[in-house]
Every structure is written in C-alpha cells, then in structure tokens.
Amino acid sequence: MDKTLSRDGTSIAYRRRGDGPPVILVGGALSTAADGAPLAALLAPRFTVVTYDRRGRGASGDGGAYALRREIEDLAAVAVAAGGPVSLFGMLSGGALALEAHAAGLPVDLLAVYEPPYTPGAAGLLHKSRCTALLHRLLAGGDRGGAVELYLSRTGVPEATIARMRRAPLWPGLEAVAHTLAYDDALLGDGSVPAGRFASLTARTLVVTGGFSTAQAQETTLALAAAIPRARHRTLTGQTRELAPHVIAPVLADFFAREVFAVRVSR
C-alpha cells in the first residue's frame, strides 16, 4: 500500500485501483481497506478507486488522542494523494465521516452514503448514550472482545452468530482494531442527525438504504436526505445493513458517471 501523511504526522495507508475520475471509499466500523476491495474492483474499470485504512487500523498509524477533525484531515490527505477534488462513498459510520468531512470544507464533487447509523429520537439517543458509556468501560478494562461483541449485538447480529465468530480466524483481527470503535462512536455525536451542519453541504448527494433494513435505518436515511440541500434518497430492494458489492456498484457507477459530468460541465 502507498502511504500519505495526515496533518498531525500520522501515516495513512491507501491503495489505488483503476483509471478515471477519483472515488474514495470510506469504510465503517472495524473495516480496513481490504474490506473495500471487492467494491473497488467492480468500480475500477470506470474510476480511479482509492481504499484506505482509517487511523488505528491495518497499515495506518494512530497518533494521539482521537478527534473527529483528525479523521477529516486523514481523509483530506488521501484526497490530495488521489488527485482531488474527489467523489466519496461512505459505508455506515464511514458515511457519517464523509458527510462531516465535506461539511468541514473538504472539496467533494459527489457524495454517496449507505445508512449512516444515526439514532435520532428520544429512545435512540438514550440507547446511544448507554452504549457509549458501556463501550468506554469495556475498552478501559481491556475487554476488546466485549467491545466487539457490543458493537455486533447493537447492529443486530444474533448471539449465536457472535459466538461462532469468536471461534473463527477473523476474531483476532476484529479485536486488534476494537479501540477504533470509540472513534466511530465519537464521530456520531449523540446520535442525532446534525441537520444544521449538513444544511451547508453543496455536493450532489445520494443517500441509500436497504429495502430489508430496519425501519429505523429507513426513517433515518429519509431524514438525512431531507437535511441535505442537494440530496436524493434511494432504497435498494432486498438489501440489508450487509450491503452486497455487486448490488451497489452499478448504482454508484451510474451516479458518479452521470453526475460528475454534469458537475464539471457546470464549472
């Protein structure tokens, strides 16, 4: 993987595939650049697709105390390396990061997100607060496995499946990046959709959800799309939180190819 330096000196690892307008894939909780490889391969015939290890994961560094602005600076450094301005696709909490980065001033041609996991509403905010407190207790006590289990259970993974995962070869890798769950938790704030902040977004934005996702996810993405001035919403039939790369790839290819042409002609 290639490396670039973020503003605070942290080394950020990234991989580039294909040729064409640059698109950066921003992964969600516990993911690394490797997890974005299948989607990147599908998009590479039409775009320069960049996947990267967010700080604290894979081959990237992890300097100092976490702050959202540092993750935004990491993404900005990757955008420069990609030859920005860029388009972004963010999965789950990676979608929230992509939105926050653009709101903070990152030049973005086009922006697509899949189910950023905000939890608006009184019950959702209370649940988020309680999970945040428990997550910090688990990590402070060195219980990385417990932190991963908390995250998986919050996202709807059944207990029996989590028990099987604990015995699987992938589990040590999840525990190795468990501390970054606190990063994703922090970038989501109190769980509410930051409508005021996102009202400043200028990029054309596609907000996507799965047809088989939870009612809360569908309602949240509709609220998010309504908060962004140039956003439209799309539901992918048959999809859940575990989005299939071969389903989202043609949607993104069509959005990025059509819209980036319109954006650049208008300049």
Q: How much is the pLDDT for 262? A: 52
Q: How much is the pLDDT for 64? A: 80
**How far, in Å, CA of 155 to CA of 151, rounded?**
6
Torsion-angle region of 112 (φ positive above 0: left; ψ -120 to 50: alpha; else: beta): beta
Specify the amino acid at residue 42: L
Bridge partners for 5 per DSSP: 11
Task: Indicate the SS3 state at residue 14.
Answer: strand
**How far, in Å, CA of 2 to CA of 163, rounded?**
36
- The sign of the CA dihedral 174, 124, 205, 250 is positive
Alpha-carbon separation of residue 259 from 205, 253, 263 (angstroms): 10, 10, 6
Q: What is the pTM of this model?
A: 0.95
Phi/psi for 191 (5° steps) reads 105, -10
Instruction: Give the tokens for residue 265.
Output: 């002609």
- Provide the 8-state DSSP code for 18: S
Q: How much is the pLDDT for 264? A: 52
Residue 123 near residue 146, CB atoms below 8 Å:
no
Question: In a structure prediction context, what are the per-residue pLDDT tens digits for the chain, which is 267 residues long?
Answer: 999 999 999 999 999 999 999 999 999 999 999 999 999 999 999 999 999 999 999 999 998 889 999 999 999 999 999 997 899 999 999 999 999 999 999 999 999 999 999 999 999 999 999 999 999 999 999 999 999 999 999 988 899 999 999 999 999 999 999 999 999 999 999 999 999 999 999 999 999 999 999 999 999 999 999 999 999 999 999 999 999 999 999 999 999 997 555 555 455
Nearest of 69, 62, 14 to residue 40 by alpha carbon: 14
**How far, in Å, CA of 43 to CA of 45, rounded?**
6
Alpha-carbon separation of residue 165 from 19, 70, 159, 181, 209 (angstroms): 37, 31, 10, 18, 26
Residue 172 near residue 198, CB atoms below 8 Å:
no
The b-or-e profile of 15-54 (16+ CB within 10 A means b, else e) is bbbbeebbbbbbbbbbbbbbbbbebbebbbebbbbbbbbb
Cα 135 to its chain centre, rounded Å, is: 19
